[in-house]
Amino acid sequence: MGFQNPTREQIKEILERSTTVAVVGLSDNPERVSYMVSEAMQAKGYTIIPVNPNADTILGQKSYASLHDIPVPVDIVNVFRRSEHTPPVAEEAAAIGAKTLWLQLGIANEEAAEIASSAGLEVIMDRCIKVEDSILLSGGKSKK
């Protein structure tokens, strides 16, 4: 049957319980979609952790070369990489104990989905986290 995204209600629950988002492929260029989406999510109260080996800091946050280098637990691994590059990211997300693998709009890979779901991660593909958050959590995250 193939991969199916969680329901809207399940996506809402994922966003509500998530606070830390590692963004693989986050550009330090404010003109790039990855930057704009992450900036908007940061403004809504999420902790954004850039994963970009070619940058020191992005959006005021230390950038890490890989998911393995992040010293804190990660709720969502949000991926801005081409589909064919996502299976190794799924493996890393599983290895660090992330809860969700989120492939951004236009990105889908059955192998990555299988790797992540086999390791117990929830998987969302071909959806924009910013759009879903805006639709499902109109007030933004509450600072607890």
Domain assignment of residue 2, yes or no: no
Is 62 among the domain residues? yes
Cα 130 to chain centroid distance, Å, stands at 10
The answer to whether residue 94 is domain-embedded is: yes
85 domain residue, yes or no: yes
Domain count, the chain: 1
Q: Quick one: residue 105, left, alpha or beta (phi over 0 = left, psi -120 to 50 = alpha)?
A: beta
For the chain, 144 residues long, give each residue's pLDDT as a single digit of tens.
Answer: 478 999 999 999 999 999 999 999 999 999 999 999 999 999 999 999 999 999 999 999 999 999 999 999 999 999 999 999 999 999 999 999 999 999 999 999 999 999 999 999 999 999 999 999 999 997 555 543
Residue 43 in any domain: the answer is yes
Beta strand 47-51 with 100-103: parallel, antiparallel or unpaired? Answer: unpaired
Write the CATH number for 102. Answer: 3.40.50.720
144 within a domain of the structure (yes/no): no
Q: Which residue range forms the structural domain that includes residue 80?
A: 8-136
